Amino acid sequence: MPPDADRNLATPGLPAPVATSSPPAFDCQSCGACCSYSAEWPRFSTEDDAQLDRIPEKYVAADLSGMRCEGVRCSALSGEVGKSTACGIYELRPDVCRACMPGDAECLMARKAHGLPIS
C-alpha cells in the first residue's frame, strides 16, 4: 500500500474522509404519508391561542382538539399520497406537524403503513 493511501490527497496531511451511512432522504411533497396516517395524530398540544386562531376553521376538528380529518387523512392535505402532496396551511400548521421530520420514526411508520419505501 502506498505510504499516503490513508490520506486525503486533495488536502495533504489530513486523514481520508470516513464513509458514513446517512439516513435516506425523503421528499415530503412526494409523500404525505404522515398527514394521512391517523385521525388521532394531528392533535393540538403546545400551540397558543394566537397560533390556533390562524388555522382556518374548515380544517379544525369539531371538538377543537386538532386538525379535521377525512378518515385518517388531514383535511389540509391535497394531492395523492406517495405521488405529489401539499399542505394547504403549511405556514400555519400545528406544532405536531412541524415536529415530524423526514426519516424520523413517525415518518417511517406512516410510510410503511402506505406501502412506501422506508430505506
pLDDT for residue 65:
94
CA-closest candidate to residue 82, choices 108, 114, 106? 114
pLDDT for residue 116:
95
Q: Are 84 and 106 in contact (CB under 8 A)?
A: no
Query: Tens digits of per-residue pLDDT, 52-72?
Result: 999 999 999 999 999 999 999
Half-sphere exposure of residue 55: CA atoms within 13 angstroms, side-chain side: 26
Q: Which three cell numbers stand for residue 91?
A: 405556514
* Spatial distance between the Cα atoms of 10 and 21, rounded to a whole number of angstroms: 22
Enumerate residue ranges in the chain where pLDDT < 50.
1-11, 17, 19
Task: Tally DSSP H helices, then E strands, for the chain.
Answer: 3, 4
Place of cell 410503511: 112
pLDDT for residue 20:
52
